[in-house]
A = this chain, B = another copy of it.
């Protein structure tokens, strides 16, 4: 149950609500927010006499939130969240946003070439890993801070916004300083210490679904970010683990309409990790747009066969350009539009 406070409610009003909840025998969770302050009542609230709370000064209304997640739920906020990113990009509105780039930043030439190519085809956000979570300690782990600086160079040259992953507290600070969106990877979806840090970093966060996370768990992890005051959260379906070795993962596109019905947060799809095979990326990227994704994230490399990681699932630049052409038609068929680079001809 959420006790929503009026705009002019004072700290004393909030404190009185907290005290009343505790007197009723429940725990109170004050949730200050940009739009409104509320106080959550934790526990089985089926038999709470809400009239006593509704009558307190400063209380606007009582909302029953049936899900374990609160601030991320549609019950808490009806209108979709629009995440504003540097460069005038909005994720979560009518436009479908395309993020593209190599798996990892490998060199200045590589990332600048990739950025120019995906920008020319219509992508508005550049992806590229500086810190790479790898199953084996003996494989390439990314260029680190040097990689972040190369991404900044690519942004200066192309005007694209930048999304890149952070793996620990120090990395969150560095990514927040250099990039426009902090990515939390699938393996860290339930790394709560990392989520709390990212929730305080002051930049939008792209939260990838864990390999075997339920949608409820994904939304609860997003709740960690909102609970720290960060409302600019974008979710990402990137494939779940299943039994068929024929594909790396199963891209669960039903997650897209499901998240849209349960939460106000935008959700994008990553068909590159979701399939793990280049020739499956294009049809599944199209499918994601058709399913209503607010964006897609696609791996593109100037020379996939020479990529240091994930080469098998990375598109050639001309494949990516063809994909952009196809998804423009699909977006149109469902009443949406692929976001165009600012300054580009529509």
Contact string against B for A residues 225-251, beta-carbon threshold 8 Å, 1 for contact and 0 otherwise: 001000000000000111111110011
A33 interface hit (Cβ, 8 Å): no
Specify which chain B residues have a CB less than 8 angstroms from the CB of A224 in the assembled complex. Answer: 137
Shortest C-beta distance, A305 to chain B (Å), equals 15
Bound-state Cα–Cα, A329 to B192, Å: 41
Task: Mark contacts of A304-341 with chain B using CB atoms, 8 A cut-off: 1 yes-contact digit, 0 otherwise.
Answer: 00000000000000000000001111101110000000
Q: Contact at B254–A258, with CB atoms within 8 Å? A: no
Contacts A216-B246, A243-B214, A246-B215 given; does A223 touch B137 at CB 8 Å:
yes
Identify the stretch in A79-87, A120-128, A154-162, A277-285 within 8 Å (CB) of chain B at 4 or more residues.
Answer: A277-285
Residues of B within 8 A of A243 (CB): 212, 214, 240-243
Q: How far is the CB of A209 from chain B (nearest CB, A)?
A: 10
**CB neighbours of A258 from chain B (8 A):** 246-247, 280
Contact with B along A192-206 (1 / 0, CB 8 A): 111000000000000
Kindly list chain B residues whose C-beta atoms are within 8 Å of the C-beta of A143: none
Q: Is the CB of B254 within 8 A of A250?
A: yes
Would you call A51 an interface residue if the criterion is a C-beta within 8 Å of the partner chain's C-beta atoms?
A: no
Nearest to A31 among chain B residues (CB) is B138
The reply to whether A279 and B252 contact each other, CB–CB distance below 8 Å, is no
Q: In whole angstroms, what is the CA distance A280 to B259 when docked?
A: 11
**The residue from B68, B138, B333 contacting A330, defined by CB atoms under 8 A apart:** B333
- Which segment of A16-24, A90-98, A145-153, A289-297 sits at the interface? A289-297
Residue numbers in B under 8 Å from A217 (CB-CB): 135
A residues 167-221 near B (Cβ < 8 Å) are 167-169, 171, 187-188, 190-194, 211-212, 214-217, 220-221
Give the Cβ gap from A292 to chain B, nearest Cβ, in Å: 5
Among B284, B290, B333, point to the contact of A257 (Cβ < 8 A).
Answer: B284
B252 touches A280 (CB 8 A): no
Query: Which residue in chain B gives the minimum CB-CB distance to A239?
Result: B254
Known: A240-B243, A254-B284, A261-B279. 14 other contacts (CB 8 A): A42-B138, A135-B217, A135-B221, A137-B227, A171-B193, A187-B191, A187-B192, A242-B250, A247-B254, A250-B250, A253-B283, A254-B275, A328-B333, A329-B332
Interface pairs A-B: 6 shortest CB-CB: A329-B333, A212-B212, A168-B193, A290-B290, A187-B190, A287-B287
A-B contacts, 10 of them at CB < 8 A, read A68-B135, A133-B190, A136-B220, A167-B193, A168-B169, A240-B244, A246-B258, A250-B254, A284-B291, A286-B291
Measuring CB to CB, which residues of chain A are less than 8 angstroms from any residue of chain B? Answer: 29, 40, 42, 68-70, 133-139, 167-169, 171, 187-188, 190-194, 211-212, 214-217, 220-221, 223-224, 227, 240-247, 250-254, 256-258, 261, 274-275, 279-280, 283-284, 286-292, 326-330, 332-334
